[in-house]
Amino acid sequence: MDKIGIVGAGTMGRGIAQFLAGAGSEVILHDIKTQYVEDALESIEINLTRSVEKERITPDKKQKTLNNIEITTDLKDFRDRELVIEAATEKMEVKKKIFQDLDTICEEDTILATNTSALSITGIAATVTNPERVLGIHFFNPVPVMKLVEIVRGLTTSEEVIQECQDFVAAAGKTVVEVQESPGFIVNRILIPMINEAAFLLQEGVASADDIDTAMKNGANHPIGPLALADMIGIDVCLSIMETLQEELEEDKYRPCPLLRQKVRADQLGRKSGQGFYNYS
C-alpha cells in the first residue's frame, strides 16, 4: 500500500506519519487546524535532523522521508487513499464522526484503521457501510522507536484485511501480533494493571516510589520501573485505560487505584505536566 492517510497529527499521528513515510509510503497527514499539521511537520523534521546528527539515517533519507509527507485540513484529500489510519482524540464520538466522513469520501475498498488504545473496533466499524474493512492498527509511543504493532480484529473485520495490514506493517519494519478485539488488547491489559498495582503499593505505604521502581528493574528485569513508566505514558491515560478495563470486563481486579485519581485531580499527570510520581521541573 503506497497511499496512506493519517487523521490526527498529535503524538501518535505524527509518529506514524514519520515511520510510514520513512518506509516509503506517500503519506497525507490531516488535523482540524493548519497550525496543528504545521507543528507536526516541524516536529517530524526536528526528529529526523536529530537522527541525521546521530548518524542513524543519512541526510538523503531525511529528505526522502519529508518529501513523502503532505499535510492537509481537508479530509476530502483522502479520496484516493488505499489505507487511512485514524489517530485522533480517544473519544468514541470523535472517532465515529471521522469514520462516517471517511465512508463518504474514500473508495469503498479503502481500508480504514483506528489507532485506538481501548475503544471498540466493532463499535467504530458499525458507522461505515462495509465494516469488514475496519480494523485496529495499534502503534506504540514513540512510534519510530517502538517495534510492536498490535493488529486488532473486530467482530466484522475480514480475514483479507487483517492479512493485508499485517503484511504491510511487517514489511515496513515492525513486529506484528494479531489480537481479537478486547479491552486493552495485549499490552495495555497486562501493563496498566501492573502500574495500577504499583500505585496501590505506594498508596499503602509498602515502599517508596524509588524502591518500587528499583525492585521491578532489578528483580523483574524491566528496563524502567512501573511508576516512572506511568509518568511517561501520562497518569490520566493510565487511569482512563483502567476505567475502560473495569467497565468492559466488570471485575474488581481492574478497580483503579484512588491514588491515580488523586494525581489526575491535582494535575500531576507525569512528565507532560512536570509532576507525577516524580518531579520533572
Ligand X SMILES: NC(=O)c1ccc[n+]([C@@H]2O[C@H](COP(=O)([O-])OP(=O)(O)OC[C@H]3O[C@@H](n4cnc5c(N)ncnc54)[C@H](O)[C@@H]3O)[C@@H](O)[C@H]2O)c1
Catalytic residue list: 117, 138, 150, 188
Cβ(15)–Cβ(6) below 8 Å: no
Rule CB under 6 A: choose which of 36, 78, 185, 254 binds ligand X. 36
Q: How far is 113 from 131, CA to CA, in rounded Å?
A: 11
What is the enclosing helix (H) or strand (E) of 16?
helix 11-22
Q: How far is 225 from 199, CA to CA, in rounded Å?
A: 12
How far does Cα 195 stand from its chain's mean position?
18
Rule CB under 6 A: choose which of 65, 110, 115, 166 binds ligand X. 115
For the beta sheet containing 83-86, the strands, ordered from the edge strand earlier in sequence to the opposite edge, are: 69-72, 26-30, 3-7, 83-86, 111-114, 134-139, 148-153, 175-180
Tell whether residue 124 is a contact of ligand X (CB under 6 A). Answer: no
What SS3 state is found at 32? Answer: coil
Closest CA to 277 of 217, 184, 189, 211: 211
Per CB under 6 A, which of residues 169..228 are in contact with ligand X? Answer: none
Q: Which is nearer to ligand X, 40 or 212 (CB)?
A: 40
Tell whether residue 94 is a contact of ligand X (CB under 6 A). Answer: yes
Residue 62 CB, nearest approach to ligand X (Å): 23
Q: How far is 149 from 203, CA to CA, in rounded Å?
A: 33
The region of 21-29, 62-70, 113-121, 202-210 touching ligand X under the rule CB under 6 A is: 113-121
Tell whether residue 273 is a contact of ligand X (CB under 6 A). Answer: no
Rule CB under 6 A: choose which of 3, 10, 70, 248 binds ligand X. 10
Cβ(202)–Cβ(248) below 8 Å: no
Q: Which is nearer to ligand X, 152 or 201 (CB)?
A: 152
Nearest 10 degrees: Cα torsion 6, 141, 161, 242:
-110
Residue 54 CB, nearest approach to ligand X (Å): 23
Owner of C-alpha cell 528483580: 219
Cβ(112)–Cβ(99) below 8 Å: yes
The region of 25-33, 54-62, 161-169, 216-224 touching ligand X under the rule CB under 6 A is: 25-33
Tell whether residue 11 is a contact of ligand X (CB under 6 A). Answer: yes
Tell whether residue 117 is a contact of ligand X (CB under 6 A). Answer: yes
Residue 205 CB, nearest approach to ligand X (Å): 30
Rule CB under 6 A: choose which of 98, 111, 259, 269 binds ligand X. 98
Owner of C-alpha cell 484503521: 113
Q: Which is nearer to ligand X, 78 or 140 (CB)?
A: 140
Q: x/- string (CB under 6 A) for ligand X, residues 232-271?
A: -x--------------------------------------
Tell whether residue 78 is a contact of ligand X (CB under 6 A). Answer: no
Per CB under 6 A, which of residues 136..165 are in contact with ligand X? Answer: 140-141
Q: Under the rule (CB under 6 A), what is the footprint of ligand X? A: 7-13, 30-32, 36, 87-90, 94, 98, 115-117, 140-141, 233
